[in-house]
Structure formats: C-alpha cells, structure tokens
Amino acid sequence: MRVQWSLIVTLVATAFLCSGAARAAPWEDLLQKLYPAAKQEGEVIFNTEREEEVGGKEGVAQFQKRYPGIKVTFNGLAGAVLPSRMVLEAKTGHVTIDAFRSDPSRAAPMVEKDLLLKIDPAEITEQPVQTFFDDRFFKLGDHITNFAYNSAFVPAAARPKTYEDLLNPRWQRRLILDARGGEIAHLLSDKVWDEAKFWDFVNKLKAQKPIWSTRNTEAMVKLSSGEGYVGTGSYAAIEELKRQGAPVDFLFLSPSLAQARGGAILRAAAHPNAAKLFLGWLLSPEGLKARDHYAVGTITPGTTLYDRVQAAGATIIYEKSIDQILARDDVANKITDTWGVLSTRKD
Amino acid sequence: MPGGPARSGAAGFVLFALPAAIVAYLVVPPLVLLVVSSFNSTADQLPLEGGAWSLANYVRILGSADTYVLLQRSLIYAFATVMIALTIAALLVWLIERTDLPGRNAVLGLIMLPIAIPAMAKAIGWSLLANPNVGLLNLLIRNFYQPEDGFGPLNIYSLGGIIFVSALSQVPSVVLMIAGAFRSFDPALEEAGHMSGAHWLQTQRLIALPMLKPALFAAFIYYFAYGLEDFQIPAILGMNAGIHVFSTRIYLATHPANGLPDFGLASSYSILLLVLAIILILVYRRMVRKAESYAVVSGRGYRPARTRLGRWKYLALGLIGLYVLLSTALPVLTLLWVSLQRFVTTPSIQALGRMTLANFADVLQKDQFREALFNTLLVAPIVATATMALSTLVAWYNARWKSPGATAVDFLTFISLAVPTVVLGLAILYVYLGVPVLRPVYGTIWILVIAFTTRYITYATRLMSAAIIQIHKALEEAADVSGATPWQVLSRITVPLLLPSLINGWMWVAISSLREATLAVMLLTPGNIVLASLIWSQWQEGSGYGSVAAMTLLTVGLTSGLMLMGRVVFGNALTVRSEGRRAGAQLGRESA
C-alpha cells in the first residue's frame, strides 16, 4: 500500500515538474503570438555589417529552429551608406531590406524622413528595453570602444592605465588611433574633462605620430601584427581575436564609452512581422545569449560582458539619449578636423 | 567605310544607331546627374531632392586652397603612375613581341598574373610587406641596415609607395592595351630603316616609336584619366596617412561618419575631373587625327622579325623575374600567409605552428560565399561580351566613318571614365530607382551588368580603337567594292583581324568585373551579392583579414583559371587572325 502511495506521489510530482518545465517563458509566449503572421511572410531581410552582431551562424540557426519557415537573409550594406540608400529606396517605394542593426546617429536621417516603424515595446519584449526616437529604434547592445594592447610587445606592467599614459614617449609611432576620434570624444562631450585639458590631450596625441586607421578591422590587424603596440578597438573585436589566439587584450581606460547599438524596422518593409519577430528574438534572453558569445550584447547581469566589465573595475559611460550621441559626434568631428587626417568637415 | 551606315538601312541601324543609343543610355544619365547635382546645394539631402540651384559647391571647392593641393597631388599621382606603368609595360611587350626572349608565352602568362589580384589585395599585401614598423621587407632590411629612428626604411604609406603599388598594378592592363600594336608592327618598315643605314636605336626612335605612338598615347591618356579617378589603392594606403587625392576626397564626401552624404561636394569635385578628362580627350583626338598613317596591317602578309638578345636575355629574364616578384609573388605569398593564420601576425616559427585552413573552411561553408560565387560567374562573362560587342562597334565606326555622330559616341565612351566610380554607382542607383519602368532591374544582377559595362566601355573602346587604327582601310574598302554588306565586312574582315585584341579585351573586362568592388558595393542588395562586394564588406567591417585573404585567394584562383582558358583561346585566335588577313587579301584581289 505504502509502495502504491509513493508511486502515485512520484507520478504526480513528475507530472507537475514536467508541466512546469514545458511551460513557456513569458518572452516565448509573447513572440509565439507574432509567429503565425511572420511565418506567412516566410523571410526577414536584415542588414548588418557582421553576422556576429546578431548571434552569428549559430544564433540564426537557433532562431530558425525555434521558428521554422522563416528564412533570415543578411545584407551587408555599410553603415555609412545605409541612411542614404534607405532614404532613396523609400522615396521610390522599393525597399529591399526589412530591418537593420546600426547606431542611433545612423538611424537619425531615417527618422527625420519618417522611414522607421514605431513599435510598441510590449509587442516584442516583456523586458524593459531602452528605445530611441519614440520607440522606433531598440537598443540591442553596448558596443564598448576603447583601447587595447599587444601583449607580445607590451608587458602587463607597462600597459597604459589612464588616458594620460597614452602620451608616454614609448608609444610614439606605436599608437594606433582611429582618425574619426570616436574613442575619446566622450571625455569632453560627457564632461569628464574640461575643454582646455581635452584639446591639449588631443593635440599631444597627434604629436605621438600615431598610426592612423579609419576602420576597426584595420586597427585590429595593425595591433595583432605588432605594427602598433597600443591602439583603439572595440571590445567585441578584441574578444574575437583573443579567441583565435592573438596576443591582444582590452584596456578599459576609465571611463570607457559604451556606444548604443540597436535595431529598427523600415516602415515600408516587405516582411514587417518577420522583422518584428526577429528583433524580438534578438532582445530575448536566448537572443542575448547568442550575441553575448560575440560580446555584442548588453552589459546586464548574467552576461560575460557584464562580468568582464566588473572584473576590470571599469567605469562605463552609457549612451542614453540621442542628444548625448549627437554631442559626442560633434566632438568627434572636431577631433577629426584637429588631427586633419580625414578632412571631411562641411564648411 | 565608304558607303557608311546610311547606305545600308537596317544593318546600318544595328551596327551604328543601336550601339550609339546604348552608349548614350549608359553614359548620359550619370553625367546629367553629376552636373545637376554639382549645381544643387545637396549637403544633408540627396541629389534631385529639390535643393535650389546654386554655385555654392563650386565656390566652396574653388575657394579652398585644399582643392589645389588635391589637384596637384592627383596629377602627380596619375602622371607618375602611368609613366612608370607604361615604361615597364612597353619594355615587357617589346621583349615578348619583338625579341627572341626564351619562353615568351610563359613570360606573358606570368606578366598577366597581377591582373587576377584585386587592387585591394595588393594594397593590403604591400601594407604588410612595407609598413615602416614591422613590414616584412623592412624587418629584412634592418638586418643589414638600421635606420636612425628604428623605423622603415621603406614606407608604403607615402605618395611614392602608393604610386609604386598602383604602377605595378596597372602594368598588365597597359600590356594588353599596347601588345597588339607591337605585334602587328610590320618589320619591313624597320628593315627599310636598316637598309637606309640607320642603326638599331635610330630605327626604333625614328620608325618604331612613331608607328607605336597612337597605341602608347592611347594607353597613356586612358591610364592618366584612370589614375585621376583610381580609388582603392590610394584609399587603403594613402587615406590613413593623410595623403588624399580627388577620389578619396569624393569617397569621404559620400561616406560621412554621420549624417547624409554630401553629393553636391562630391559632384563638383567630379566635374573638375571631367574637365581634365575632356582636355585629355581633345589632346588624344588631335594626336590620332591622321589615323590612317598608323595603319600597319594591310593585305600583305609578313613574318614578324625578332631582335636577337644574345647575352642580354639573362638581364631581361632577371628584370621580368623582379617584376613578377614585386607585382605577384610577394603580395600573393603575403595573402597566403594571412589566409593560413587565424589573425594577422608576422612570420615566425610559432606562427608556422599555428597555420590552419580554418579560414578557407569558414569561407566555403558560407551560404553568402556560394551565392556570391554563382552571381560572379554569371555577371563576368555577360559584362565582357556586352562590353566588347559595344566597344568594337563604336570604335569601328569612329575609325571608319568620321561623322560628328560617331565622334560624339566615342567621346561619350571616354568621358564616362571621368565619372568617379562612387558617383557612377550613385547615379545608376538613382536612375534605376527613379524611373519606374526600370525599377525591376534594381536589386538584380542586371544592374551590375549595366554598371560594369558603363565602367569598362572606356577601356574596351580605347583598346579596340588602337587595334582598328592599325588595320588598313583598303582591306574593308576592297570588300565594300566587291559588294559586301557592312555586316559581312565586319564579320569576315574586321573581326577576324581584331580577334586577338577582342579576346584580350574580353578577358580584361571579365577579370575586372570579377574584381570590381566599389560599384558592386554601391549597388549591393540582398539579391545581387558578388565576390567583390562580399570581400569588400568583410574587409571593411569583418572580424579579421583571414577570411578576406582566403576569399581573395579563391577569387585569384578563379581569375587565373579564366586567364589560362583565355590563353588557350588566344592561341587559336592568332590562327584565326591570319585567316582574317588572308580573307581580306583575297577580297582585295577579287575587287582588283
């Protein structure tokens, strides 16, 4: 009899546990509502410069396994030409992509022309999410850009610990700087330093005869090959190089800047529901985990990105509003002019 | 030709009016957009978006001292590059076509190899070889000579460095453009010189050089104009060193760090280039005004005489070896090294142990790569065939039927070179998005076919013009008098005689289409990715150069295969060419 009772209890408990395990997480329920309409569309065309920014091949496979019948097609239009192309395509009613990953300042011209779809955040995520432009642009990640070093040439003890350390003569002609000035602009735009100190620093950096670069990839190549010993770079790219065995590491000079990267959907998208589902999935814990593998997620507890920032004891400045971003862009433009490597400033 | 197209009705239409219409269709819209855009204040808005008519862009660039620095530097860059390339190319072609150099076919194959390597790859290769800090060549040199400051002594990030890489890069194309002239040169003319007591150098200076002048000058003009517009090598090696030319400045104006591109500024810079190109065309036309005097292919057969090199052949082979080493072997080996490493690093024992094929495996697994490969294999031959057909007809009519219409069409084909690639890409985007009936072409591979044909029609027409000028009109006149239709004259006389140039041109256009990144990226949509746009995108924002190097090497393999195939066809073509000449002579006799 006792055996029978214990068997019944075990069965009931197992059934209860199983039902609990099978119960979908809130985000899954939410996205499941979008699935039928998305499936009907059958495809989402997403513009991103790197597949890793949306979880790479594995991430996309995960999405397609969870939502069969929806193909994810990538388009690799560069960030610099994305706004003008979208404005142009929208003007003629021939939009070729559904959604894109970019930064808010790239999205700004599209917002100005009312090309982006306004989405109720509750429709695609049950988590709090930072949005820009009145829910037209959803923050997907914190893109940390700062300085890194080549550990084969720079012993740990000698690595720069502050921004001022970059002015050490030992880095002369060995310092890789992005000529666009984005990695240091926040020191002025976010009022870390005053004008005098900042511009003195900018001029002294130029006097270091840096190795200029205009793209992150290029800066990384110059760093890993030892052409430069210390240089600007994104945390994600450095992590990728480290995974591949390159003797490089990130510096997190304080305060470091976490640039907002996000996603948006075109109003004229051919597959708006599939795009919403994909964007929602990218914001979900599963999507975040896939992106965290490539260090392109948000700095939130539970992510390796968060742990790494904590371990480094880094102070991070986050981008919270478009005004803050535009102010930084403005400083970056002035740095570009001061350094004079790229003279693109409009009169 | 004597009767001209007017005489021949439908055939005349197909042979002249249709190609003229196609050329106008390809070239005029970008030019119109360029001019309109330059007179519009288009900062922060797109061309034709309704900006007021204004001279502001011109005031801005002409009032800036920076423009004159750009102009001076662009002219120096274009002139030095073309002079170096032309000198090397002329020497190489002379050795192959006019001397008894051993292994001439193999040498020609080796000389043409750099054409298979994208300019971007050469620039990346050389940046790793000769950057002043850890460039491999600098590391080697420093074992014997230590510069005072510990850097260099070579610095590829300099105007000299950019000119060096660009010149090496241009040599094969220049060889293709002038080879026909050296090959077709009747040795009887040189023999006459010798008979009159002139020594070898005098014969070359007084007879050979003047006869080759149109081809050499055509190549000079074309590559000088090309140099003014050339973008990839100055961008990769010069932009970061603050060494700007017009093309990189135009690129920066159309690729701002934020906001919308400033097309007005880009267009007005382009108009300056256009003015320079027009001057070059006028000079060129004046030069070849009496084209018939340069005709060296007549109904009379000849056997090319070759100068005996004797012991000089070792020096010649040594120089060829040096050229192949610098233009092909070093950049390709660097690319190979990068492709076999997970990250870019200088060669060492440790790095040797890390060699892996992972980059190739990654690339081959990519769906995008397979799609790009398929599209590339489709686009390249279509572009080559369309471009060569069009340019042959345009060049033929311009050479044989000196009417203002033919001249205008030829002029149009040349002037398209002056439209910077970035601006051309934008203009094509506008036309195919703006005109509803053309909209279905947007986003397909056909927009690439149109863009590439527009881009390469200049080179192809110059190549075919240089070849046609050398064919004596009497051959065609004989056929005409015998009652042959224009189509018969073209297909039975002219085309067979032009076949080597046609095949060379076809190969050049096909290979250039395989490598054309700027236009492919400008017109990139999910439906028309090609290898060049995939490689460029990865180079711009990818995670490393490993996959870029792997993809580039696969492309180099593909283009080399195409060139090998071309060599086989080229061999046959020589026979066909002889047959063409025989056919011409036969028709000439019949008419007599």
**Same CATH topology for A22-140+261-297 and A143-258+307-339?**
yes
Residue B430's closest chain A neighbor by CA?
A88
CB A208 within 8 A of CB A244: no
Query: Which residue among A94, A106, A213 sits closest to B258, beta carbon to beta carbon?
Result: A106
Distance, in Å, from the CA atom of A307 to the CA atom of A289, rounded to the nearest integer, reads 14
Q: Which residues of B touch A241 (CB under 8 A)?
A: 343, 543-544
From B44's Cα to the closest Cα of chain A, the distance in A is 9
Whether the pLDDT of residue B258 is over 80: the answer is no
Best residue in A113, A217, A229 for a mutation probing chain B (most B CBs within 10 Å) = A217
pLDDT at B225: 85
Contact A45 B368 (CB under 8 A): no
Question: What is the ipTM for the molecules in this complex?
Answer: 0.81
From A227's Cα to the closest Cα of chain B, the distance in A is 5
Architecture of domain A22-140+261-297: 3-Layer(aba) Sandwich (3.40)
Average pLDDT over residues B291-295: 51
Q: What pLDDT band is residue B52 in, cutting at 50, 70 and 90?
A: confident
Contact B343 A246 (CB under 8 A): yes
Contact B46 A340 (CB under 8 A): no
Distance, in Å, from the CA atom of A231 to the CA atom of A212, rounded to the nearest integer, reads 10
From A178's Cα to the closest Cα of chain B, the distance in A is 9
Strand partners, A47: A75, A100
- Range with the poorest average pLDDT among A273-287, B164-178, B201-215: B201-215
Whether the pLDDT of residue B96 is over 50: the answer is yes
Whether the pLDDT of residue B586 is over 50: the answer is no
B53: buried, middle or exposed (CB in 10 Å: 19+, 13-18, 0-12)?
A: exposed
Contact with chain B for residue A92, Cβ under 8 A: yes
**What percent of chain A shows pLDDT beyond 70?**
92
Contact A92 B524 (CB under 8 A): no
Q: Which residues of B touch A237 (CB under 8 A)?
A: 543
pLDDT at B576: 39
From A210's Cα to the closest Cα of chain B, the distance in A is 10
Q: Pick from B442, B441, B452, B455: which is nearest to B383 by CA?
A: B452
Top mean-pLDDT range of A170-179, B200-209, B410-419:
A170-179
Q: What pLDDT band is residue B51 in, cutting at 50, 70 and 90?
A: low
Contact B524 A52 (CB under 8 A): no
Distance, in Å, from the CA atom of B256 to the CA atom of B245, rounded to the nearest integer, reads 17
- Terminus-to-terminus CA distance in chain A, angstroms? 92
Q: Which residues of A touch B134 (CB under 8 A)?
A: 225-227
Q: Which CATH superfamily is domain B4-288+310-591 in?
A: MetI-like (1.10.3720.10)
Contact B545 A94 (CB under 8 A): no
Helix axes of B445-469 and B159-184: crossing angle, nearest 10 degrees: 60
Q: 318-347 in A: which are within 8 Å (CB) of B? A: 329, 332-333, 336, 340-344, 346-347
**What percent of chain B shows pLDDT beyond 70?**
85
CA dihedral (A238, A240, A245, A247) in degrees, to 10, reads: 0
From A235's Cα to the closest Cα of chain B, the distance in A is 12
From A333's Cα to the closest Cα of chain B, the distance in A is 8
Q: Which residues of A touch B344 (CB under 8 A)?
A: 221, 224-225
Contact A341 B543 (CB under 8 A): no
Contact B46 A179 (CB under 8 A): no
Cα–Cα–Cα angle for A201, A207, A213, nearest 5°?
A: 90
Query: Which residue among B151, B368, B526 sits closest to A96, beta carbon to beta carbon?
Result: B526
From B540's Cα to the closest Cα of chain A, the distance in A is 7
Provide the token pair at B247.
């093309």
Contact A85 B429 (CB under 8 A): yes
Compute how many other C-beta atoms are within 10 angstroms of the C-beta atom of residue A321. Answer: 12
Whether the pLDDT of residue B453 is over 50: the answer is yes
pLDDT at B294: 52
CA dihedral (B367, B373, B378, B379) in degrees, to 10, reads: 110
| HEC readout, chain A | CHHHHHHHHHHHHHHHHHHHHHCCCHHHHHHHHHHHHHHHHCEEEEECCCHHHHCHHHHHHHHHHHCCCCEEEEECCCCCCHHHHHHHHHHCCCCCCCEEEECHHHHHHHHHCCCECCCCHHHHCCCCCCEECCCCEEEEEEEEEEEEEECCCCCHHHCCCCCHHHHCHHHCCCEEEECCCCCCCHHHHCCCCCHHHHHHHHHHHHHCCCEEECCHHHHHHHHHCCCCCEEEEEHHHHHHHHHCCCCEEECCCCCEEEEEEEEEEECCCCCHHHHHHHHHHHHCHHHHHHHHCCCCCCCCCCCHHHHHHHHHCCCEEECCCHHHHHHHHHHHHHHHHHHCCCCCCCC
Where is pLDDT greater, at B94 or A17? B94
pLDDT at A329: 92
Distance, in Å, from the CA atom of B131 to the CA atom of B127, rounded to the nearest integer, reads 5
Average pLDDT over residues B481-489: 77
Best residue in B343, B447, B548 for a mutation probing chain A (most A CBs within 10 Å) = B343
Q: Which residues of A touch B343 (CB under 8 A)?
A: 224, 241, 244-246
Q: What pLDDT band is residue B6 in, cutting at 50, 70 and 90?
A: very low
- For residue range B308-332, list pLDDT tens digits in order: 888 899 999 999 999 999 999 999 9
Contact A75 B262 (CB under 8 A): no
Average pLDDT over residues B463-492: 78
Q: Which residues of B touch A182 (CB under 8 A)?
A: 257
**What percent of chain B shows pLDDT beyond 90?**
27
pLDDT at B515: 86
Contact with chain B for residue A180, Cβ under 8 A: yes
Residue A80's closest chain B neighbor by CA?
B255
Strand partners, A249: A149
Whether the pLDDT of residue A15 is over 60: the answer is no
Contact B258 A105 (CB under 8 A): yes
From A13's Cα to the closest Cα of chain B, the distance in A is 46
Domain boundaries, chain B: 4-288+310-591
Where is pLDDT greater, at B544 or B88? B88
Residue A76's closest chain B neighbor by CA?
B537
Query: Which residue among A80, A108, A347 sits closest to B255, beta carbon to beta carbon?
Result: A80
pLDDT at A134: 96
Contact B345 A226 (CB under 8 A): yes
Distance, in Å, from the CA atom of B552 to the CA atom of B333, rounded to the nearest integer, reads 12
Average pLDDT over residues B53-68: 88
Q: Which residues of A touch B249 (CB under 8 A)?
A: 343
Provide the token pair at B437.
């009936």
Q: What pLDDT band is residue B214 in, cutting at 50, 70 and 90?
A: confident
Whether the pLDDT of residue B574 is over 80: the answer is no
Q: What pLDDT band is residue A275 in, cutting at 50, 70 and 90?
A: very high
Domain boundaries, chain A: 22-140+261-297, 143-258+307-339
pLDDT at B42: 60
Provide the token pair at B550.
């792997």
Average pLDDT over residues A226-243: 92
Query: Which residue among B239, B255, B343 sits closest to A245, beta carbon to beta carbon?
Result: B343
Contact B242 A341 (CB under 8 A): yes
pLDDT at A119: 97
Whether the pLDDT of residue B187 is over 90: the answer is no
pTM of this prediction? 0.84
Top mean-pLDDT range of A38-47, B168-177, B241-250, B296-305:
A38-47
Compute how many other C-beta atoms are within 10 angstroms of the C-beta atom of residue B255. Answer: 17
Contact A244 B342 (CB under 8 A): yes
Top mean-pLDDT range of A197-206, B93-102, B187-196, B280-289:
A197-206
Average pLDDT over residues A322-341: 93
From A42's Cα to the closest Cα of chain B, the distance in A is 15
pLDDT at A41: 97
Provide the token pair at B356.
């892996």
pLDDT at B455: 92
pLDDT at A99: 97
Exposed e or buried b for every residue in B223-250, given b needs 16+ CB within 10 A?
bbbbbbbbbbbbbbbbbbbebbbbbbbb
Please state which CATH number belongs to domain A143-258+307-339.
3.40.190.10
Contact A84 B252 (CB under 8 A): no
Q: What pLDDT band is residue B566 in, cutting at 50, 70 and 90?
A: confident
Average pLDDT over residues B548-554: 91
Contact with chain B for residue A129, Cβ under 8 A: no
pLDDT at A4: 63
pLDDT at B488: 79
Average pLDDT score, chain B: 82
pLDDT at B180: 74
Q: What pLDDT band is residue B115 in, cutting at 50, 70 and 90?
A: confident
Strand partners, A316: A256
**A151, B117, B120, B157, B329 from B335: Cα distances, Å:** 24, 10, 11, 19, 10
**What percent of chain A shows pLDDT beyond 90?**
67
Q: Residues 6 or more apart from B107 whose CB is under 8 A from it?
A: B92, B95, B96, B101, B320
Q: Which residues of A touch B442 (CB under 8 A)?
A: 94, 96
